[in-house]
Structure 1
Amino acid sequence: MTTDTATQTETGHADEPIVRLRHPGRWVAAAVLLVLAAMFVNFVVTSPQLRLDLVWGYLFEKSVMRGLVMTIELTAVAMAVGIVLGTILAVMRLSENPLLRGAASGYIGLFRGTPILVQLLFWFFLGTVLPQISLGIPFGPEAVTFSTNTLISPFAAAILGLGLNESAYMAEIVRAGITSVDKGQTEAAEALGMSPWINYRRVVLPQAARIIVPPAANDTISMLKLTSLCLVIGLPELTTTVQLIYGRNFQQIPLLIVASIWYLVLTTILTLLQTRLERRMARSSAAMPAKRFRLALGGR
């Protein structure tokens, strides 16, 4: 038996063509999706009720732009409050002090257990039960007194409602990231005489970031859309602004389309930034733990 014959015997019919599996279901699904997409485009283009001319006319209108800027500001400030306070709460929850753990757990349970809409209304109407906020010695003389309604403006109420609520969720995200770090890293840092604060800042948190970043980015996208709830306290963000406009001209759907377009634009930008950041974090997490630890110690 020759070598070619032996090879053909072992592998079967070597000259038989490879037959690819057919997937008729995919073609049917694709056809259905194309038909539905064509129907949607036809409806959008031919329906006079949608008033696409009105959509384009209000897309860059001044009040809409101001509402858009307000939405971006609310998202940025509320997420900053949530990240900073959430990190502190996460460290408290991991503390060996039972009082710190209990306080952090109570805070997280309170703000995660009540609806964010209720929290927004609570801060907005706080002045009805607490007309003044005073600073001074507890149970003693008051040094400074502020009007609650002046101190907690609609913007401040929105930041308190959104930021404090976000901090409760961010605390759990940061805690999960911190607990994912190998305990040997922190033990080695303690053996070198690093204080707990420096240990967290230069060893734990940089390594925990690869776990924290993806859900934190998702929370940022969610926060962008949650700012629309500020409608209930009259803050002129994007949703409130378009509602005020269609309250005058009764063109609800075209104005809601305007708001939806801007929300889609912003969420698309944030999604692209999230994808790029996650890729960068994935590349950095491929480094050896020992190398990351040496860098955390200042390059030693």
Structure 2
Amino acid sequence: MKETVSVFMDESGKNKNEISLIGSVVVPNNFYCSKSVMELNDKLKREEISFHLTDYKKSQLKDYLNLFDLFVSNENLLRFNVVAFKRGRFSNHMLKGKIDDMVYSKIPERSIYGSLRGYSSFTEVEANIYIEYATDYEKRGLDKLIKNQLNIHSLYRYDHFKVVKAKLIYKNTEIGLEFTDACLGVLRNIIENRDVKTTSSSKVSRTLIYKKQLVYELINRHRNFFEHIDLFELDDKGLLERIDMRKYINLFQSKYLKEKELYGEVAEVYGDSKYHVKRKPRKIPYRQ
């Protein structure tokens, strides 16, 4: 008996001073090829919808909620594995010029392997891997490297999976990749939990308020999914330490509610939202 899965890998954060996240989502093909997912995929290809949290606008709220509602409604079928690290941690090493070589030869494979291993003890799994295209990935032959590494690991550890293909694909061509990108963006906002008020100008960032509102709503809708993200931090010894997402989530929600009370959340959500945030008078000007 065989099962085919699609694996989507993406990266968030390349600045040496920020948290870098490399994550992968595994989705069974019998779900990914369903009518509802393919309809959303067609809308993506027709450019009727787009997902990139860096450029998030409040008008996109419903699209993001629909995306997560669709995928996470089958959360028992999904596996989301993320490795977090800081490039700056290696900046004093004698081989600091090799940081990117180390990152891309090790961490993507660790992220995807964590998603595939133990997927099934009784079923052989064939995996197709899709990685968002980047010039650096192409130069490094990352797709070929990952396929080779994972198949070697599967044989060495007697796992029950085989990577059939791994390929680089452009953004807005697979909704599974956009879902992975959105998951990483939400995860980054939860972990960083930035202040909506900037210390330099003492103004509130309207954009960040909208993002945090989205994240808050997604947590309320799909708390179990976010609490069970397999998040690992790369330590100084090259080991992966599991991180409890519940602590990050509780801190994020507590801070968001406090900020909403202090600054008056004015970002309106669409009318059918179960978690509608009512308009309050704002107390300080917003940064455009």
TM over 0.5: no
Query: Normalization by structure 1: what TM-score?
Result: 0.21
- Normalization by structure 2: what TM-score? 0.21
Structure with the bigger percentage of helix: 1
